[in-house]
Chain A
Amino acid sequence: MRTAVIVFPGTNCEQDVVHALSTLGGDAELVWHRENDLSGFDGVVLPGGFAHGDYLRTGAIARFSPVMAEVERLAEEGLPVLGICNGFQVLCEAGLLPGALIANRDLAFICRFVELEVTDTDTVLTRAAEAGQRIRIPLNSYEGSWVDPDQTGRVPLRYVDNPNGSQDSAAAVANLRGNVVGIMPHPERGVDHLLGSTDGRILLEGFLHSMALA
C-alpha cells in the first residue's frame, strides 16, 4: 500500500507526514506537483504549507497543478484522499470538498494544541476512532475557518472549543462518500510522545487501513 505525499512549491509539512505514516507502518513517498501519473498509489495526502505562496487565495493556484487531475481521478475511484491544513484548502478549491476556508474569526494565526471530538466515524480519517472520542493535536493556521453556504459538508471532527469561527465547529470535513477528507489541525504532529501527543495516530492509522480496504 503506497501513499503519495504531494509536494507543491511552498509545501512544508511533507517530511512530517512521511515520517508519521512510516512510523505507523505505511509506505509513503514524496511526489512533486508536476507529476501527472499516480498509478500504483493507493492513497494521497496533500500536506500543509503555503502551496504556490498562497497567492490569489489559499490553494487557488495549486488546484491547477498537473498532479491534481490524478488526485481527482483517485478520489473518483474511491481511494483515500486526505488534505491537511493547506491541503484541506487545496481540496476545497479543487471542488473535491464542499465549502471554502477563510481567515480565522479573530484574525490571529493560531498555533496551539486543540481538542477535537469525533462526530462521524464513516470516513477514511476517522474509521479507527470511536464516536465521541476526544483527540488532542496541534492547530497551526491563519485561514482555518471553514464556511459552507450550501451546508453540504459532512463534519467528522469538531472543535470542542471552536478557536477560529469554523462553521459547525468543523475541524475536518468529508465528501459524501467519506473517502476525501480535509482536516485543519495536524494529525502528523501527534504521533510521538516527544511532541506532546500521540492522538494523531488513530486518525492516520484509520487512513492507512482505509487504503487497504479501498
Chain B
Amino acid sequence: MKVTVEITRRPEIADPQGSTIQRALSDLGHTDVVSVRVDRVVHLDVTGEDPEAVKQNVEEMCRQVLANPVLEDFTVVTG
C-alpha cells in the first residue's frame, strides 16, 4: 500500500529557506507572495490490507523518527 507522509514545520518555527524563496520571488516581481514554507514529503510502500491499521502504523513511525515533535507536525495519507 502506498502511503504519503507530509511533514510540516510548525508555524511558530522559523523557516529561513521559505523566507529566502519568498524574497527571491518578490525580487522577480511576484510581490503577491506573502509567505513561503518548504516542507517534506515521504513516500512509503507498506505491506498490509487494512488502510486504518497501516495509517496507525505509519503515524507511529512519524512519532518515532520521521518527524521531530519539537519542530514538526505530520499528516499520513494512505492509498
Contact = CB atoms under 8 A, between A and B. Distances in A.
Interface in A128-150: 145, 147-150
A188 to B, nearest CB: 27
A149 B16 contact: no
Given A98-B70, A105-B14, 6 more contacts: A93-B68, A100-B70, A102-B14, A103-B16, A104-B16, A165-B14
A147 B14 contact: yes
Contacts of B20: 107
B65 A102 contact: no
A109 interface: no
Contacts of B10: 149
Contacts of A107: 16-17, 20
B17 A103 contact: yes
If over half of A's interface residues share one DSSP class (helix, strand or loop), that class is named, otherwise mixed; here it is: loop
Interface of A: 56-57, 60-61, 64, 92-93, 98-100, 102-107, 145, 147-150, 165
Nearest to B64: A64
Contact of A100 (B17, B65, B66, B71): B71
Nearest to A63: B65
Nearest to A104: B16
A100 to B, nearest CB: 4
B12 interface: yes
Given A60-B65, A64-B65, A147 B16 contact: no
Q: Closest 5 interchain pairs by CB?
A: A100-B70, A107-B16, A100-B71, A103-B16, A100-B68
10 contacts: A56-B66, A60-B68, A92-B70, A102-B13, A102-B14, A102-B71, A147-B13, A147-B71, A149-B70, A165-B16
